[in-house]
Every structure is written in C-alpha cells, then in structure tokens.
Amino acid sequence: MSFRFLLLPTLLLSMLAAAAPAQEPETESGLPIPRFVSLRADEVNVRTGPGSRYPVDWVFVRKALPVEIVAEFDTWRRIRDVEGTEGWVHQSMLSGGRSLLVRGEIPATLRVEPREDAPAVARAEPGVLGRLVSCPGPSDPAAGWCYCEVSGYGGWLRREDIWGLYPAETIE
C-alpha cells in the first residue's frame, strides 16, 4: 500500500479541522463550567467518582454551603469547596440558589450602604454562611460589594470577605 493513499485522507481531515469554528465545550446540563451553587441537604455524600458505585470519600454536613461545580458527567457534578477539595456529588444534592461563606481571619462587617464608612448592621464571623442577594457588575460604583443576608440581617459585604462568587460576577 502506498503512503500516498494514507496521506490524502489525513490531509483532508486536517484541513476540515482547521476550517471548523472553535466552539465552547458542551456540558451535560448546558450551564457554564465552572459555576457556583450551594448544597441542598444537611448531609451530602462526596464520592471519588461520578456514580453511586464509587466510594464515599467524605460527607458535607452543612446545608447551603457554597461549592463550585468544575465538571459534569451525566447526573453527577464534580465540586470544589472553599479549601480546594474536590469530589463528585449527585445533582439532586445541589441547589442553584446562591450562598456565601464569610472568609478571612477577622469578622466581616455588614454595612447599610456599600461604603467603608457606612454604618454597620452586623458583624459576621469567618465561616458563617449567608445568602447572596445581589452583586453589582464591574461598571457599578458599588462593584466591590454584595448585598447579603446573614443570620437574619441584610447589608453590604465587601467581595473580598466572601467566598462563593467570581471577582467580576454580577448577581441580580
């Protein structure tokens, strides 16, 4: 067999591949990857792989904890927590509702307005969970802040005090 016959199909395939437009990878859900969600239940099994046959690696015991979906396979989602630990959970254990985790070494201050000099509403200890209500976009004067509900209090938290959203993400 001549190499000429092998070269022609290879050349045609490479030309077709070069002419094809670049596309975003499709996900099982059709939603973007990565994205933040929250845990739906008080106990969520995190497995070593995408299926119930895989062993449970650990169990989250904190409903509404924000986690980041970094991959999808069928009805399973690979998630990452605030510490960077990853594992697989079934999609039914996740909620699209947006939550936050207060991060840092010292309490974060919820404020009446999105300004450092605005009166305090409450202080939230590191590790406290809350609900993200809105986060203005990068062109908004309040871009460095998010309106949140934490332990029954509503107010503005600095983005840098929150884990559960991307730096320039807008939440409406």
pLDDT < 70 positions in the chain: 1-26
* E strand intervals along 75-150: 76-80, 86-90, 94-95, 99-102, 108-111, 120-124, 129-134, 145-150
In contact, 149 and 133? CB cutoff 8 Å: yes
Both tokens of residue 136? 């203005």
Place of tokens 């509404």: 64
pLDDT score recorded for residue 26: 57
Q: What is the pLDDT of residue 22?
A: 37
Question: What is residue 147's predicted lDDT score, i.e. its pLDDT?
Answer: 98
100 exposure class (CB count in 10 Å sphere: 0-12, 13-18, 19+): buried
Contact present, 64 and 42 (Cβ < 8 Å): no
- Each residue of 27-67: pLDDT tens digit? 778 899 999 999 999 999 999 999 999 999 999 999 999 99
Three-state SS at 121: strand
Q: What confidence score (pLDDT) does residue 29 get? A: 82
Quickly list DSSP for 22-38. Answer: P-PPP-SSSS-SSEEEE
Q: CA distances (Å), 167 to each of 71, 136, 160, in order?
A: 20, 11, 8
Q: What is residue 165's predicted lDDT score, i.e. its pLDDT? A: 96
User: What is the DSSP-derived secondary structure letter of residue 155?
Assistant: E
